[in-house]
Structure 1
Amino acid sequence: MARRAWVTTLVALALAPLALTAGCGAEDEAEPRNDAEAPPSEAPLELPGLPDAASAREQLAALTEAEPESMDGYSRDHFPHWKSEDGCTVRQQVLQRDGEDVQVGDDCQPSSGTWLSLYDNVTVTEAGDVDIDHMVPLANAWRSGANEWTDDEREVFANDLIRPQLLAVTARSNREKGDQGPDTWVPEASEFHCVYGRAWTEVKHHYDLTVTAAERETLTELLDTCA
């Protein structure tokens, strides 16, 4: 894919609101207070834009391998995120999409619901205790090519509801992951490894981001777990 070929059509698509029957959740992120261990998920949430394993392997082979770029100039402010659409932020739309039995008020804030964090198989019952993870973290994207984008292009990346880039997870797992790539961090829930490898590869491929040799090796291993 030529660099930035996605820009001309992506802004309208990636930032379009979900067809919500209800709204969304709080902006602040906190450690979970009402967790319960959940049994392993046999059929994880189907993330949007998730390729099958064969397609992900083809995408992985096409990715450019390179050493990470410098972090010079990086700031999360260069990735404006949680854009509002029709009164709901992108964060809130993900809470609605990923939750079960989510009830909301007129302000899009959930008053009840449950969220199964696929990284660690923990169920959270308070929306304020849920983090929205960027599958490919913002700092990782910066080091693998996003440093050359405009802030408008980075805003599309940070609010992408079309691809498997955003996921509701526990604050603990999100903070453990930080800005690490799969070569240094993978979800502790091993049954999610196949989906994780497919999702990470799709996002890197769509946005023409580079991978390191170690990252490619681990992604290959993750895709090899797919049935």
Structure 2
Amino acid sequence: MAGVALLGATTVGVAGATPPGIPSTADAQSALAALTVQPDGSQDGYSRDKFPHWIDQGDSCNTREAVLKRDGTDVQVGSDCYPTSGTWESPYDGGSWTSPSDVDIDHVVPLADAWRTGASSWTQDQREAYANDLSDPQLIAVTDNVNQEKGDKSPDQWKPPSTDYWCTYAKMWVAVKQKFELTINTAEKSALTDMLGRC
């Protein structure tokens, strides 16, 4: 029943996933100007295990399954919430997939980047909330190998292959950094400024 309710909320025909909370260009530019600029901190002590993710989100769904349902078109799920059919359009590269195993759930601001820019001082509960955040533009379904190419790189080091998506990607990145009070470095700010200039 939960799957049917969520399926009803899926917008058919929209090209690509649309996470919640993407700000306007003006709001993103204001937020970017207000972020603290400083060199990234150390990677020492980082582990993905310090960001427990794909936790239970209710209705038998974990976070990954919830995003697959949200970001796909005509998604049907089994009693365990795992998709049995659907189509996923990856806005990063324009790829279209019908198998959920071809789709990764990307943390727009990667866990390791968050660690270097403020999350190393968070509690485990705070990191878990960050890694499973469904209310901000932090999680998105994308082509798996594109996500793997991205790794933990910031926008000065990696941008989506589809240049048409750079504006939206920058708006999402800035929104997450603002929400979680994470810092940015000078190269990252320059790249984000350029990307928002394409909006």
TM-score, normalised on structure 1? 0.81
The Cα of 1:128 is off from its aligned counterpart by: 1.6
Indicate conservation of the 8 Å contact 2:72/2:88, yes or no: yes
Task: Report the equivalent of 2:19.
Answer: 47
Task: Report the equivalent of 2:10.
Answer: none
From 24, 48, 52, give the equivalent of 1:76: 48
Change (3 A) 1:43 1:129: closer
- How is 1:54-133 mapped onto 2 (pairs within 5 angstroms)? 54-86=26-58, 87-133=60-106
Indicate conservation of the 8 Å contact 1:20/1:96, yes or no: no
Number of residue pairs the alignment of both structures matches = 192
Distance 1:158 1:18 in 2: 23
Distance 1:88 1:162 in 2: 16
- How is 1:180-219 mapped onto 2 (pairs within 5 angstroms)? 180-219=153-192
Change (3 A) 1:55 1:19: farther
Letter in 2 for 1:118: P
Letter in 1 for 2:135: I
Query: If each structure's helix is expressed as a fraction of its own residues, which one has the higher value?
Result: 2
Distance 1:216 1:160 in 2: 23
What fraction of aligned residue pairs are identical, expressed as a percent? 51
Could you give the per-residue CA deviations for residues 153-204 of structure 1, whole angstroms, max 9, x where no partner exists? 0001000000000000011110000000000000010111110010000000
Task: Report the equivalent of 2:116.
Answer: 143
Letter in 2 for 1:158: A
Q: List runs of 5+ in structure 1 lacking aligned partners.
A: 1-16, 23-40
Indicate conservation of the 8 Å contact 2:17/2:72, yes or no: no
TM-score, normalised on structure 2? 0.92
Change (3 A) 1:53 1:106: same
The Cα of 1:21 is off from its aligned counterpart by: 2.8
Change (3 A) 1:19 1:196: farther
Letter in 2 for 1:58: S
* Structure 1: 4+ residue segments shifted above 6 A: none
Letter in 1 for 2:18: E
From 21, 30, 35, give the equivalent of 2:6: 21
Could you give the per-residue CA deviations for residues 43-65 of structure 1, whole angstroms, max 9, x where no partner exists? 65432011000000000000001
